[in-house]
Amino acid sequence: MLICMLAVFTGGPALFLAVLSHSRRLTVQLEQRGLRAQGQVVRVNESRGKPSTVYYVFRPPEGPERSGKFDEASSDASKRTPGSAVDVLYLEEAPEQNMAVGMGFTRGLFILMLVPLVLVAGCGNLSVLHAYCTQPK
């Protein structure tokens, strides 16, 4: 039981951290090495009380049309209409890896998600170990 609980409080956060790290790494790559292209908004799915999803397409000079999407505050997304311009960053070697300029996974958001994740993992593991070490033998 001890091993299972430690695996949950270590493995779960580690897996989530790997996903967060991959997203942050991709954003950094796009910001540092990404090529800029002019895209067009295809549609906007507006949601009440949640960010709206903006769908776009762009055509890199070296390949076929690509698509992407990003979430934006409904007040900003409502200003976007189908056909309006959106600046896009993409990786030359992998244009399917793209994002609208300014919409990536920021360092601040990464840290904001990392801190509670580490706290949950640490407190969970300490609680399990404390319970194990203080149980009557």
Tens digits of per-residue pLDDT, 55-74?
999 999 988 999 999 999 88
| Cβ–Cβ < 8 Å for 98, 58 | yes
**Could you tell me the residue range of the domain that residue 114 belongs to?**
105-136
Same domain, 93 and 114: no
Same domain, 42 and 99: yes
- Count of all residues that appear for the chain in the document: 137
CB atoms within 10 A of CB 115: 10
Same domain, 99 and 114: no
Tens digits of per-residue pLDDT, 86-117?
999 999 999 999 999 999 999 999 999 999 99
Residue 39 lies in a domain: yes
Name the domain count of the chain. Answer: 2
* pLDDT of 44 strictly over 90: yes
Q: Which residues pair with 70 in a beta bridge?
A: 54
The pTM score is 0.81
Q: Exposed, middle or buried by CB within 10 Å (0-12, 13-18, 19+), for 49?
A: exposed
